[in-house]
Amino acid sequence: MNFENLKPRWNAVTTTNSTEDLFSRFSKEIRNKIRKADKMGIEILEGDASSVKQFYSLVDKKHSRKLNYYLDMMEILGKKDMIKLYFAKLDTAKYIEKSKTLFEAEEKRNNEINQELEENINSNNTTNIIKRKMASDILLNNCKQNVINATNLYKEYPSGVIVGASAVIKYNKEIFFLIDGYKQEFKRYCPNHYLKYQIMNFYRKEGYTRMHLNGISGDFNKSSAFYGLTRFKLGFASEIEEYIGEFTLVINKGKYKSYQNASKIVDWLNEPLFKKN
């Protein structure tokens, strides 16, 4: 179970066509994250060979591959236009603009509800109005906090800031998400969700029919440590495809048994002396 091999046995794959509305097929959670990213000023940029180091800084902790691996990939596959790098950028100026627009719209709505409540204050039918007023007050406060947050970010990053990245392999009208990453401190802006959607939608329009979101765990129980990753990838209207996997053909049973025992000893030696409670 889990990720039993270097090349995952279970993969999430989205099948699509150039005419359908891909967004509507996503889970509600994924759609909301994408909308949130758009409201916060996330935009997608395409990189090139000169962007590999910046890309690597966002994904280096996810895999043991070194920088040269990606440099070689760009040099070799780039000649045939088979690899693309994409970045999620938080446009702080756009974030301020959108935050102010949302705040002003909700402020207007809140004032209208206040007016409605005043006009019906002596009525016995104010329960629904009060509920809408309370919901609007919460939303208005959230909008206000977003304006403050956007303003502070603009002061720190007036030209915007790159918050996520993704590498895509193209082959035979299919795309393969090789690896992606994002800055943890900007997780709330949902750059990974927005990256995947915009990339998938772009290639859908270009006639690509299969989008490989890479591996998922073979343990589909909610208690699995990888359940969140599985739910995330399946939320993009993907289906599970199982490959044949890897199997061991034992030629010498004695040596294989010794190898298994040695592996257990190595694992034991690598265990920490003191475990945290």
Residues 125 and 228 in one domain: no
Q: Are residues 179 and 210 in the same domain?
A: yes
**Do 46 and 114 share a domain, yes or no?**
no
Position 249 in a domain = no
The domain of 116 spans 96-142
In a domain, 274, yes or no: no
pLDDT of residue 8: 77
Q: Are residues 102 and 228 in the same domain?
A: no
Q: Tell me: do 19 and 87 sit in the same domain.
A: yes
Specify the pLDDT at position 271: 62
**pLDDT of the chain along its 277 residues, tens only?**
455 556 778 899 999 988 888 999 999 999 999 999 999 999 999 999 999 999 999 999 888 889 999 999 999 999 999 999 999 999 999 999 999 999 999 999 999 999 999 988 888 778 899 999 999 999 999 999 999 999 999 999 999 999 999 999 999 999 999 999 999 999 999 999 999 999 999 999 999 999 999 888 877 888 888 888 889 999 999 999 988 777 778 898 888 888 888 877 666 656 655 555 4
Q: Kindly state whether residue 254 falls inside one of the protein's structural domains.
A: no
Question: Do 170 and 231 belong to one domain?
Answer: yes
188 and 213 inside one domain = yes
> Do 188 and 73 belong together in one domain?
yes
- 110 and 176 part of one domain: no
Which of 167, 175, 179 has its CA nearest to residue 215? 179
Kindly tell me the sign of the dihedral angle through the C-alpha atoms of 200, 227, 29, 106: negative
Domain membership of residue 47 (yes or no) is: yes
- CA atoms of 209 and 171, how far apart (whole Å): 11
Here the CATH number for the domain that contains residue 177 is: 3.40.630.30
Considering the domain boundaries, does residue 248 fall inside one?
A: no
Are 128 and 215 in the same domain? no
197 within some domain: yes
CB 236 within 8 A of CB 62: no
Question: 68 and 85 share a domain?
Answer: yes
Q: Measured between alpha carbons, how far is 107 from 155 in angstroms, rounded to an integer?
A: 25
Residue 196 lies in a domain: yes
Number of domains in the chain: 2
Residues 85 and 112 in one domain: no
Instruction: Give the residue from 112, 142, 172 where a domain finishes.
Output: 142
Whole-prediction pTM value?
0.82
Q: Angle at which helices 28-39 and 92-119 pack, to 10 degrees?
A: 110
